[in-house]
Structure 1
Amino acid sequence: MQDFSQLLTKAGYSVAEAAKRLGYSEGHIYRWKRGEETPRDSVIRLLELEIENRQVNLEGSFAFIDLFAGIGGLRKAMESAGGRCVFTSEWDRFAQQTYLANFPDNRPVVGDIQEVNAEDIPEHDVLVAGFPCQPFSIAGVSKKNALGRAHGFADETQGTLFFDVLRILMHHRPAAFMLENVKNLKSHDKGRTFDVIKRKLTEELGYTLDTRIIDAGHYVPQHRERIVMVGFREKTDFSFDDLYLPEYGRRRMRDILHPEDGTESAEGHFTIGIDAKVNSKYTLTDKLWAYLQGYAAKHKAKGNGFGFGMVDGDSISRTLSARYYKDGSEILVSRGEGNNPRRLTPRECARLMGYPEDFRIPVSDTQAYKQFGNSVAVPVFAEVANLMAPHVFDVMNRSASLKKVG
Structure 2
Amino acid sequence: MKTSKNTEFSYLRELAGYSVKEVASLFGKSERTVYRWENGETTPDNRIIQELKAIYEARSGNKHNGPYKFKFIDLFAGIGGLRKAFESVGGKCVFTSEWDQACRKTYQENFDCDHPVHGDIREIDLDSVPEYDVLLAGFPCQPFSIAGVSKKNSLGRPHGFHCDTQGTLFFDVAHMLERHRPKAFLLENVKNLVSHDKGRTFKIIMRTLVEELGYHVDYRIIDAKPFVPQHRERIFIAGFREDAGFSFDDLILPDTSPKLRSILHPEDGTEVPEPPYTEGSSATVASKYTLSDRLWQYLQNYAEKHRAKGNGFGYGLFGPEDVARTLSARYYKDGSEILIKQDGKNPRRLTPRECARLMGFDKPGESKFVIPVSDTQAYKQFGNSVAVPVVEAVARHMLPYLEYIMGTGGRPAATGKPEQLVLFEKEVAYV
Q: Is the 8 A contact 2:360 2:389 kept in 1?
A: yes
TM-score normalised by the chain length of structure 1: 0.79
Name 1:350's counterpart in structure 2.
356
* Structure 1 residue 24 displacement after superposition: 6.9
- SS of residue in 2 equivalent to 1:264: coil
Name 1:237's counterpart in structure 2.
245
State yes or no: 1:66 paired with 2:66. Answer: no
Name 1:212's counterpart in structure 2.
220
Distance 1:169 1:78 in 2: 19
* Structure 1 residue 133 displacement after superposition: 3.2
* Structure 1 residue 165 displacement after superposition: 0.3
Name 1:169's counterpart in structure 2.
177
Name 1:339's counterpart in structure 2.
345
Q: 1:188 aligns with which of 171, 183, 196?
A: 196
Q: Is the 8 A contact 2:139 2:189 kept in 1?
A: yes
Name 1:368's counterpart in structure 2.
378
* Structure 1 residue 244 displacement after superposition: 2.7
Q: 2:122 aligns with which of 95, 110, 114?
A: 114
Letter in 2 for 1:397: G
Q: 1:280 aligns with which of 282, 287, 292?
A: 287
* Structure 1 residue 105 displacement after superposition: 1.2
Q: 1:235 to 1:287 in 2, by over 3 A?
A: same
Distance 1:323 1:344 in 2: 13
State yes or no: 1:289 paired with 2:296. Answer: yes
Name 2:419's counterpart in structure 1.
none
Distance 1:306 1:38 in 2: 59
Q: 1:321 aligns with which of 307, 319, 328?
A: 328
- SS of residue in 2 equivalent to 1:329: coil
* Structure 1 residue 242 displacement after superposition: 2.0
Letter in 2 for 1:199: R
Q: Deviations over 1:68-90 (max 9, x none)?
A: 00000000010011100000000
Q: 1:398 to 1:247 in 2, by over 3 A?
A: closer
Letter in 2 for 1:373: G
Distance 1:71 1:397 in 2: 32
- Give the percent of matched residue pairs that are identical in Structure 1 and Structure 2: 62
Distance 1:298 1:39 in 2: 65
- SS of residue in 2 equivalent to 1:209: strand
Q: 1:186 to 1:36 in 2, by over 3 A?
A: closer
Q: Deviations over 1:105-134 (max 9, x none)?
A: 143210000000211111100000000136
- SS of residue in 2 equivalent to 1:334: strand
Q: Is the 8 A contact 1:244 1:383 kept in 2?
A: no
Q: 1:195 to 1:283 in 2, by over 3 A?
A: same
Distance 1:386 1:316 in 2: 25
Q: 1:210 to 1:116 in 2, by over 3 A?
A: same
Name 1:302's counterpart in structure 2.
309
Letter in 1 for 2:348: R
Count of residues in Structure 1 that have an aligned counterpart in Structure 2: 348
- SS of residue in 1 equivalent to 2:206: helix
TM-score normalised by the chain length of structure 2: 0.75
Name 1:270's counterpart in structure 2.
277
State yes or no: 1:253 paired with 2:260. Answer: yes
- SS of residue in 1 equivalent to 2:118: coil
Distance 1:368 1:166 in 2: 30
Q: Deviations over 1:243-291 (max 9, x none)?
A: 1311242x00000010000110111200011100000000000000000
Letter in 1 for 2:198: K
Q: Is the 8 A contact 1:135 1:158 kept in 2?
A: no
Structure 1 residue ranges without an equivalent (≥5): 1-12, 44-56, 137-152, 400-406
Letter in 1 for 2:300: Q
Letter in 2 for 1:197: I
Distance 1:254 1:178 in 2: 32
Distance 1:213 1:158 in 2: 26
Q: 1:306 to 1:379 in 2, by over 3 A?
A: same
Which moved further from structure 2: 98-107 or 201-210? Answer: 98-107
- SS of residue in 2 equivalent to 1:217: coil
Q: Is the 8 A contact 1:309 1:318 kept in 2?
A: yes
Q: Is the 8 A contact 2:191 2:233 kept in 1?
A: yes
* Structure 1 residue 104 displacement after superposition: 2.9
Q: 1:112 to 1:39 in 2, by over 3 A?
A: closer
Name 1:394's counterpart in structure 2.
404
Q: 1:122 to 1:36 in 2, by over 3 A?
A: closer
Name 1:54's counterpart in structure 2.
none
Q: Deviations over 1:170-205 (max 9, x none)?
A: 111100000000000001122111010001011111
Which moved further from structure 2: 183-192 or 275-284? Answer: 183-192
Q: 1:60 to 1:72 in 2, by over 3 A?
A: closer
Distance 2:142 2:266 in 1: 35
* Structure 1 residue 240 displacement after superposition: 1.1
Distance 1:293 1:163 in 2: 44
Q: Is the 8 A contact 2:132 2:182 kept in 1?
A: yes
Q: How does 1:28-67 map to 2 (within 5 A)?
A: 61-67=69-75
Q: 1:294 to 1:168 in 2, by over 3 A?
A: same
Q: Is the 8 A contact 1:132 1:159 kept in 2?
A: no
* Structure 1 residue 58 displacement after superposition: 6.0
Structure 2 residue ranges without an equivalent (≥5): 1-6, 17-25, 51-64, 145-160, 410-431
Distance 2:334 2:143 in 1: 24
- SS of residue in 1 equivalent to 2:82: helix
Query: Which structure 1 residue ranges, 4+ long, deviate > 4 Å from structure 2?
Result: 13-20, 23-28, 34-40, 57-60, 156-159
